[in-house]
Structures are given as structure tokens and as C-alpha cells.
Structure 1
Amino acid sequence: LRKSSALRSTTEPYIAYGSTEELFRACRAQCSYTIPSAHLSPPQPPPENAAGEHIGVGAGWWFDARAVDGLALPVTFSSWAQVMFAHLYCLTARLRAFPAEHAGIWHQQLIDHFFFAAEEQMAVEHQMVSRAVRNRYLKDLWQQWRGILLAYDEGLIKGDAVLAAAVWRNMFKADLNADVADVAKVTAYIRSQLKALEKLSDEEITQGLVKFQSPRE
């Protein structure tokens, strides 16, 4: 075992819960959105795009307009989830470097934070009052996450062309009109964050001392 007390402690699940909450906050800080109509009294139906997705008001490079050098992704739940998945993937890749008997605990706690946040987003911003409906969406998200792991892993092994294809299929929904330069930016960003996380010690990771760089940098 490594020397980190967090990895050797009998209270590891509790430590992992708190530390992975900090790690997830680092992911969530990259982009956020609200649906203002959901906060009116009484709440009003949200605007929708052509695909029937609710449109919100977003913040962060991923949602910022091109006029301010943003990526200008549609401000939807789907886009938010894909941005979270990209950052969660980077952290998951780093957590795999933990001893095998510890990696699973930390990964599970991290992904649990995402699903708690996703359900909250559904309930608060999208006014999904039915738990059954939310559960169906969460099951679909789980399948998407499993697909992300496989697709991005393949990209890491086979090279940037394969990773870029995975980014295009997932974050850009295989849109034939997607800007190739945008796909390249996201691909390079994922690579850079993976390298940055590799440089952090286990102690820094277990303390939640992670800050993702801005894609603008």
C-alpha cells in the first residue's frame, strides 16, 4: 500500500466520500446552468430546442458564446452531463493508479456524487417531480457513462484520432456540422488534464486538491 493515511485508514469510505465530493466540485465548477422559468412563482414551462430538450442559461467556457471565445455548446442537461463525464473520466483514469483494493471505493464515491447532482438538477431545474421518470433518466445516464469509459479508454490506447471521434460522438452528438477545431480543442483539453492529474500525488488526490485548468488557457 502507498503511505497515504487516507488509503490505509479503517474509515476510508468516509474519507473517500468527503474527498470525492471536493473532486466532483472541481468538475462541476467547469460549467453550470439554470432554467430561470423553473424558479418563477408559479413555475413556467421551459423553452425547448428542436429536439425537445429544455434550454437553460449557462456559465463557463463550455457554454459561453463564441464571441467571448467559448465553445457554445447548447445549454441543456445533456451537454452538462457530457462535460461532467469528460472531467469525471480524467479523474477516474487517475484513481485507477490507486492500489486495486482502494480504487473501486474512490471511483464509486466519485460517480455517486455525479448521480446525486444529476437527479437534483432534474428535480430542481427540469421540474421532474416523478421519481420513476428520474430513475429512467438516471439509468440511461449510467449506460452513457459506461459507454464513455469504453470510448475514451480506446482513444487513450489508440491515439488522438480515436479519442477525437469519441468526443465527437458523445459531446457533439455526432453532429456532421460540428466544427473540427472545436472537437480538437476538447480532445487536447482532455489529454492535458490527464497529464496534469498524473503529476499529482496520491496524497493530493485524497485531499481533493484538484483544480482543472480553463480550456481558455
Structure 2
Amino acid sequence: MRAGIASRLRASAPLMTETYVAFGAAQELMKECSRPGDYSIPQALEKDGEIPVDDKGTHLGTGSGWWHDTLGLTPTFINWTQLTFLHMYMLQVRFRMFPDTHASIWIQHLTNQCFYAAEDRLVIWHKMHSNGLRQRYLKDTFSQWRAVLLSYDEGLIKGDAVLAAAIWRNLLGAKEEVDYEKLAQIVAYMRREIRRLEIAPDDEVAQGGWKFGPSPGQEVSNTASTASEKAIPNKTATGSKTSKIGTTA
């Protein structure tokens, strides 16, 4: 019902109501973007619980689904962040197709919701109660988001090989050992979902109920696989820094 009322209001006073509509929808869209990388750390909720860590001291959670079980991403804050960014990026590409007066509003609200969710996660699952420390992590996370936008935009424009290299750097942490088939599946997944968003009516996206399709692997083109294999040897590796909640580029 709210979506129907909002739609009628937008028709009569679009600029006045767009912020209201975008705020509510962005909350739901953010949940969908964060779902693939979702994880929990039950020990963080225990009074004297000890959060599990890997050999680098990174907090480890528990998660499931294709990205964790098949791709092999560990349930960590940084992997949740990068998976969320990947899905946010696809929605942002669609938001850019909105009228100029509306696009920036939607992009800003989705970005805001992401960082609200990230801060909540730092407090709940990582016991990061120092506001100053959280803000430093969030500032670093925002820098990563800007880098993601630039690299995925370049890949979207220049082709699958460049997009595969961007996914490898951002999502897969520029690891030397690469499963090219799975990388190609992610490229095909992004292309498929961006196409679905492209042909969807504005109202369908703006109602906030958008759901991404099946996990990567449903459809893979030989072109994407070949492009992925060609992309990695030409990469330029960057340094990284580690923390208890993850590794950041």
C-alpha cells in the first residue's frame, strides 16, 4: 500500500516526495545487497565469548551460500563489505537511469544505508564500541567503495577482461591462485543482473522489493571465461593492510 501511495504522490509532487520514497526503498534494497555476504559471530553475543580469528588475527564468522561455500570466501567483515559493494554497484548503475533530479537522491540513500549497516555490524559482531575507531574503519571502507565504483565502471565500459580483473582485485583480494571458471561465473552474473535491472521498469526498482537472481554459475559464456584468464596476468598487485576485522586494499 505504501508503494502505491508513494507512486501517486510522486506523480503530483516528484521532487517533494522522492527523498521519502528513496529512504524507505533504500533500506530494503540494502538488505538485499548485503544478503549474499551475510554472516554472524555467535561468540560476540556471549558475555565472555571469544571471537574466532584466522592466522592473521581477522575475526571469523559463520555464513553460508554460494559465495561462502562454493567460491570459498571466508565470512569476514571485509568480504561482506565487498560482496555488498558488488550488488550496490549494480543497483547504482540502474539508479543512473533515473531522471537526473532523482538519480543522485537514490544513490546517496543507498550509500547511507550501507554505512549504517556497516557500523551496526562493527558494534554487534566485532564489539567495536569505540566511536573513533569505528569512524576510522568506516572512512577506510568508504575509500574502498570509491575504488570499487571506478574499477567496475571501467570494466563495464571496456569489457569482460577488465571487469574480471576488477572483481579479482576487489572481491578476491588479488590472490595469486584464481579459479578462472568461478571468476567467469561472477562476470556473467554481473552482466546478467545489470541487464535484468536495465529492462525493469523504474517503479519496480523504486518500490524496494528488487531481488537479485540465482547465484553465479547459472549461465557462463566461453567469452567471459577466456577474458577472465587473460585479465589476471596483466594485473598490477597492490599492497594491503590487515586488521582484526579483515584485510583492506
Residues 92-115 of structure 1: CA deviation (Å, up to 9, x unaligned): 000000111111111000111110
Counterpart check, 1:13 vs 2:19: yes
Counterpart pick for 1:35 among 24, 27, 41: 41
TM-fit CA distance, 1:182: 1.9
Mapped pair 1:46 → 2:47: no
1:50 corresponds to which letter in structure 2? D
| Aligned residue in 1 for 2:117 | 117
Distance apart, 1:140 and its partner CA: 0.5
Q: Could you tell me which residue of structure 2 aligns to residue 130 of structure 1?
A: 130
**Contact 2:37–2:75 (8 Å) recurs in 1:** no
- Given the two structures, how large is their TM-score scaled by the length of structure 2? 0.80
Kindly indicate whether the alpha-carbon contact (under 8 Å) linking 1:62 and 1:71 is maintained by their aligned counterparts in 2: yes
Could you tell me how far 1:29 is from its partner in structure 2?
A: 2.5
Aligned to 2:210: 210
Q: Distance in 1 between matches of 2:160 and 2:16?
A: 40
- The structural deviation recorded for 1:189 is 0.9
Cα RMSD for the two superposed structures: 1.6
Q: Give the drift of 1:9.
A: 4.7
Aligned length: 209
Report the AA paired with residue 180 of structure 1: Y
Q: Spell out the pairing of 1:50-61 with structure 2 (5 A cutoff).
A: 50-61=55-66
> Which residue matches 1:147?
147
User: How far 1:4 moved relative to its partner?
Assistant: 7.8
Q: 2:9 touches 2:17 (CA, 8 Å); kept in 1?
A: no
Post-superposition shift, 1:25? 1.7
- Aligned-residue identity in percent: 44
CA distance in 2, matches of 1:51, 1:172: 17
Once the two structures are TM-superposed, the CA of residue 51 in structure 1 deviates from its matched residue by 2.8
User: Once the 2 structures are TM-superposed, how far is the Cα of residue 162 of structure 1 from its aligned partner?
Assistant: 0.1
1:23 and 2:29 correspond? yes
**Structure 1 counterpart SS, 2:63:** strand
1:178 offset after TM fit, Å? 2.4
In structure 1, list runs of 5 or more residues that go unmatched. 65-69
Amino acid in the other structure paired with 1:33: Y
Distance 1:25 1:161 in 2: 30
Using a 3 Å threshold, how does the CA distance of structure 1 residues 86 and 38 change in structure 2: closer, same or farther? Answer: same
Q: 1:23 is matched by which residue type in structure 2? A: L
Maintained 8 Å contact 2:37/2:79: no
Q: 1:181 to 1:51 in 2, by over 3 A?
A: farther
Give the alignment's TM-score, normalised by structure 1.
0.91
Once residues 6 and 109 of structure 1 are traced to their aligned partners in structure 2, the CA distance between those partners, rounded to angstroms, is 17
Q: Which of the two has higher C-alpha Rg?
A: 2
Q: Which amino acid aligns with 1:49?
A: D
- Give the partner amino acid of 1:105: I
Letter of the aligned partner of 2:208 in structure 1?
G
| Displacement after TM superposition at 1:60 (Å) | 2.4
Q: Which amino acid aligns with 2:63?
A: G
Between stretches 178-187 and 121-130, larger displacement belongs to: 178-187
Q: Is contact 1:31-1:61 (8 Å) kept?
A: no
Q: CA deviation at 1:117?
A: 0.5
**Residue 199 in 1 paired to residue 205 in 2?**
no
